[in-house]
Structure 1
């Protein structure tokens, strides 16, 4: 079986974990947490990085740090993970959806302005599968209407837009370090910003809103979103090799592209000139004429020893949101198509070249009925 993901540890991961154990620094107060934050901020070129326990709570913390209020609206793509609208809703704010571009699979910037109302407070571009959204039009709307930009860069470690790193362009940004991410701490996340006030709020909310003067006297309700020193130790070791990890991903992306770009029956994610694509995963979209959907295709591939994962199920079709009377009558056809006809093939850091080549052969075999 060729697994969909396997992480890769190239350097000091074991040594740093042993250091945590030898010094008894395993909690969030350990020195690796601060070092991880400093390395990550320096890599992105931002002032502040606040380490948290996972990428989902990073989004929730970002929303809280911006002090969004009940009824405030946040515009985001219909094609994304449920964590994005979930963080908005839990703050009492309202997610407002737009469809995604049919070629890049990122937020369709041409649809955003029509969704802006007097209640809109933020736009959340999600950099999908390792490629940046088209940020210039989004930043222009931010300036025109006075809106926050919340970048979800969970899948875009090291990705760039016209030379600027994803996560460094908005008012605040979030990252995930789940096991399948380019930099991994098993679980874990980061909130980054250049704004001192937003950073101070994020740090306070992350740590139960303890006060420096009197620790157990609370003026606000915070969260326990802390990252442990053990996890941060992994993160530091990973950051020491981040350029090597990105190079592996880009080589995978180039290899998959060269072998699959002319395959009848599938569409690859379009890579735009503005983007440094880091190929977090390599997605494939079935043409409409292929006589099976992504779920049937995944079964065929699995039977031949290739594990895959589906694309995100669209936000507007999530039953949990219909129970909240959200998105019931809304339609986002590109997001719906991606959910039904898209999947990604093995893309882990530990993927061997010979396994990648085998995946491509099997993909073509399963599509032979279309080619015929």
Structure 2
């Protein structure tokens, strides 16, 4: 549609305006995040979900497009795809339950496919390098949902810096937190500029899209929260080391335990310790996880009701086929997270409870 003279004048006026956000703490946080994680650019936003929706918008994903993502994911990832008008397409889990099945991914890649989202649940990144190679060959955008993977490295690189853009959460419970917030990491200046414009109603310019030329959203990170995130970022190395010690301590206290098979890191991966991870071989594993939750042991399926996305009631409109490996992967997963408040004594008590409950569990 051709712009009339009044529209052109308004666009020119908006383009000359200074940055209207007045953000100093958020701008400083972005610089510090980019430096900390070895990325060219960081863009601070209001939540981890906002990071995903902003990344999708910056990649030009919208109505009529399809986005491939693992069925082994949280529902919030799916919600971000649906929010931008695209259709989520669920991919089967790999044979070992870690990452996506590339053959299934390739079979579901079609003319409407524009992006793939990798989800690093519990801070694990298995298969990300093969996935990156596939998306480069297929000409697709690769977005990393690294909301649980702050500090995880794979092949010497930080999670969230392998694909085109990585998305992170600053919600309480994350290793870097400020109560609520998020950020994106990318080496693509144009993508970063589009993300920054989208998160503040397109009041700043981006390549090919002057200020005011598009509709955006309000995904700004509030200045007090940015200041708090900077405070925690400065202490990130110590917080990361603590999480890794906590996860290692729980594994030392529990391994081996009948019915719990530890899930080791992938080759070249150093997890952040977000959760200690086991594969449950006990009968009725979801019921066992629920029993642990009732006994005061937080975990992914028992406490947070993690469900394979294609089976989640809210995603029923997107399910196209059975994905038995994804369902089994989620149902047999025991992921026990930590917080900075979990003491060594509390971890040992947690291990004792899990061991006792596993020994008493009946078919």
Scaled to the shorter chain, the TM-score interval is 0.7 to 0.9
Partner of 1:207: 200
Shift of 1:341: 3.6
CA deviation profile, 1:164-200 (whole Å, cap 9, x unmatched): 1111111111001111111111110001211111111
Structure 1 runs, 4 residues or longer, greater than 6 Å off: none
Shift of 1:88: 1.5
Partner of 1:294: 286
State the SS of the aligned residue for 2:119.
coil
State the SS of the aligned residue for 1:209.
coil
Partner of 1:369: 360
| Residue 221 (str. 1) matches residue 215 (str. 2) | yes
Does the 8 A contact of 1:103 with 1:269 survive in 2?
no
Does the 8 A contact of 1:132 with 1:276 survive in 2?
no
Among 50, 59, 68, the residue aligned to 1:57: 50
Does the 8 A contact of 1:183 with 1:242 survive in 2?
yes
CA RMSD, 1 decimal:
2.3
Aligned mates of 2:145, 2:343 — CA distance in 1: 29
Partner of 1:123: 116
Partner of 1:330: 321
Higher relative contact order (CA 8 A, sep 6+): 1
* Runs of 5+ consecutive residues of structure 2 not aligned to the other structure: 1-19, 206-210
| Residue 342 (str. 1) matches residue 333 (str. 2) | yes
TM-score normalized with structure 1 length: 0.84
Shift of 1:138: 1.1
| Residue 281 (str. 1) matches residue 272 (str. 2) | no
Does the 8 A contact of 1:301 with 1:363 survive in 2?
no
Shift of 1:370: 5.4
Alignment of 1:70-89 (within 5 A): 70-89=63-82
Shift of 1:206: 0.4
Partner of 2:8: none
Among 314, 334, 342, the residue aligned to 1:320: 314
TM-score normalized with structure 2 length: 0.86
Shift of 1:349: 1.8
State the SS of the aligned residue for 1:139.
helix
Partner of 1:270: 264
Segment drifting more, 85-94 vs 43-52:
85-94
Partner of 2:11: none
Aligned mates of 2:72, 2:356 — CA distance in 1: 29
How has the CA–CA distance of structure 1 residues 231 and 256 changed in structure 2, closer, same or farther, with 3 Å as cutoff?
same
The total of aligned residue pairs comes to 336
Shift of 1:211: 4.7
Does the 8 A contact of 2:64 with 2:112 survive in 1?
yes
Aligned mates of 2:72, 2:90 — CA distance in 1: 9
Alignment of 1:41-56 (within 5 A): 41-56=34-49
CA deviation profile, 1:60-113 (whole Å, cap 9, x unmatched): 010000112322221111011112222212222221111224645433345322
Shift of 1:320: 2.2
Aligned mates of 2:95, 2:336 — CA distance in 1: 19
Aligned mates of 1:107, 1:181 — CA distance in 2: 24
* Runs of 5+ consecutive residues of structure 1 not aligned to the other structure: 1-26
